Amino acid sequence: MTEVIDVHRAPGDRPASSGLPPLLRTSDRWTDEMVTAAGIPMRDKPVVTVGGGIGSFVTVDYLRIAGGLPTSDIQVVSNLSHPWQTYEHLATVSQIALDDRIRSDAASRPDNIWGFPSYAVSEAFRKRTLAPLMQVLLEPVFADFYTPKLRAVLESIAREARRIRYWDMLERGDVEMVRRRAGGGYFVLFADQRIAEPEHRVIRCRDVHLAVGYTGLKFLPELQEFRAGMNDFHHVVNAYEDHEHVYHALRRRPGTVLVRGGGIVASRVLERLIRERMDHGLQTRILHVLRTYFSGRHGKQLWARRRGKDGFAYQGFNYPKSVWGGQLKAEMRKLDPDARLKVHENIDGTTTAWRREWQRQLRTARSQGWYRAVNGTFEDLRRDGEGVLARLRTADGTLELHADYVIDCTGLNAEVRDHQVLRDLLDHGGARMNGLGRIDVGREFAVTGADSGMGRIYLSGAAALGGPFPGVDTFLGLQIAAQEIVDDMARRGFCRRMGPAGALAHWVRWAAGRQI
> Does 266 have pLDDT greater than 50?
yes
427 in a domain, yes or no? yes
Which residue, of 375, 394, 409, is where some domain finishes? 409
Do both 400 and 441 map to the same domain?
no
46 in a domain, yes or no? yes
Do both 92 and 234 map to the same domain?
no
Q: How far apart are CA 205 and CA 420, in angstroms?
A: 20
Residue range 194-200: mean pLDDT, rounded: 77
Residue range 100-121: mean pLDDT, rounded: 95
Residue 241: per-residue pLDDT = 94
Do both 197 and 223 map to the same domain?
no
Residue range 92-119: mean pLDDT, rounded: 94
3 in a domain, yes or no? no
Residue range 174-203: mean pLDDT, rounded: 91
> Does 17 have pLDDT greater than 60?
no
Higher pLDDT among residues 237 and 333, named by residue = 237
Do both 41 and 84 map to the same domain?
yes
3-state DSSP helix/strand/coil % of the chain, to nearest 5: 35, 20, 40
138 in a domain, yes or no? yes
Q: How far apart are CA 58 and CA 473, in angstroms?
A: 13
Confidence of residue 346 (pLDDT cuts 50, 70, 90): confident
Give me the number of domains the chain comprises.
Answer: 2
Do both 391 and 366 map to the same domain?
yes
Q: How far apart are CA 291 and CA 313, in angstroms?
A: 12
Contact yes or no for 305/350 (Cβ under 8 A): no
Which residue, of 409, 444, 476, is where some domain finishes? 409
Do both 402 and 441 map to the same domain?
no
Do both 83 and 200 map to the same domain?
yes
Alpha helix locations (H) across 27-109? 32-37, 54-65, 85-93
Q: Domain limits at 392?
A: 219-295+351-409
Do both 164 and 182 map to the same domain?
yes
Q: Which of 447, 465, 484, 468 is nearest to 50 (CA)?
A: 447
| 170 secondary structure, DSSP code | E
* Interacting residues of 350 by C-beta distance below 8 A, sequence separation 6+: 261, 262, 263, 292, 313
Confidence of residue 132 (pLDDT cuts 50, 70, 90): very high
Residue range 466-480: mean pLDDT, rounded: 92
Which residue, of 342, 375, 409, is where some domain finishes? 409
Do both 376 and 463 map to the same domain?
no
Do both 241 and 97 map to the same domain?
no
Residue 300: per-residue pLDDT = 61
Do both 122 and 176 map to the same domain?
yes
Residue range 273-301: mean pLDDT, rounded: 89
Residue 10: per-residue pLDDT = 40
> Does 445 have pLDDT greater than 70?
yes
Alpha helix locations (H) across 94-128? 119-127
23 in a domain, yes or no? no
pTM over 0.85: yes
Residue range 157-177: mean pLDDT, rounded: 97
Residue 9: per-residue pLDDT = 42
69 in a domain, yes or no? yes
Residue range 320-342: mean pLDDT, rounded: 84
> Does 211 have pLDDT greater than 90?
yes
> Does 303 have pLDDT greater than 80?
no
| 116 secondary structure, DSSP code | -
Q: Where residue 361 sits, what CATH number does that domain have? A: 3.50.50.60
Do both 141 and 240 map to the same domain?
no
Measured on CA atoms in the order 420, 426, 430, 433, is the torsion positive or negative? Answer: positive
123 in a domain, yes or no? yes
312 in a domain, yes or no? no
